[in-house]
Chains A and B, each alone.
Chain A
């Protein structure tokens, strides 16, 4: 199985900062990596698909990059509304796997 390791586990930031969240795969997955945002008591929401492709309706301050084994989700000018957990998921192979998540908190 492909293991996805997200770091950091928790990130505490000041509104207005730019942050980078990491997702590393145990094997190369090309660009078959997707990012999700999950707010407390809500269903996950797709933020970025296929490593860097934007999703309609998602604010432009969310961007992502990467391929192979190293992937990054960037959030520019973090806002209070961005307080959430962020998960990556690979769809390169079965079983599909998720990273353990990064929890974004605001100072």
Chain B
């Protein structure tokens, strides 16, 4: 069974940093590109970042470019999102999701940016 389990969220002050993790199981993680997608409370879905299976290709939404860094450790079956210079508008539920047409999603991890 495919599982994606996010962790690392929480309450953080504006300007601070946070690192999210997503542990994958039930499939060959190293064969798939991965995404971070977020959803602000009561809002729609916003794609955040993508990393290819071997980390050769990385893309970001303009809203996070220069502040967020996506990475992965295929040996640990883990996807990461390093978030710096956090803003109130980054407050959202962050999902990791597999592949392009995202066929599997985690349960999400909440990030709240507030003083």
Contact = CB atoms under 8 A, between A and B. Distances in A.
Check if A and B associate.
yes
A11 to B, nearest CB: 16
Q: How large is the interface on B (under 10, 10 to 19, 20 to 34, 35 or more residues)?
A: 20 to 34
B73 interface: no
Contacts of A91: 100-101
A44 interface: yes
Contacts of B101: 34, 46, 49-50, 89, 91
A101 B45 CA distance: 8
Nearest to B102: A46
Nearest to B60: A95
Interface in A48-103: 49-50, 55, 85, 87, 89, 91, 94-101
Interface of A: 34, 36, 38, 43-46, 49-50, 55, 85, 87, 89, 91, 94-101
Interface of B: 35, 44-47, 50, 59-62, 95, 97, 100-103, 105-108
28 contacts: A36-B45, A38-B45, A43-B95, A43-B105, A43-B106, A43-B107, A43-B108, A44-B45, A44-B97, A44-B105, A55-B103, A85-B44, A87-B44, A87-B45, A89-B45, A89-B101, A94-B59, A95-B47, A95-B60, A96-B35, A96-B50, A96-B59, A98-B44, A98-B46, A98-B47, A99-B44, A100-B44, A101-B44
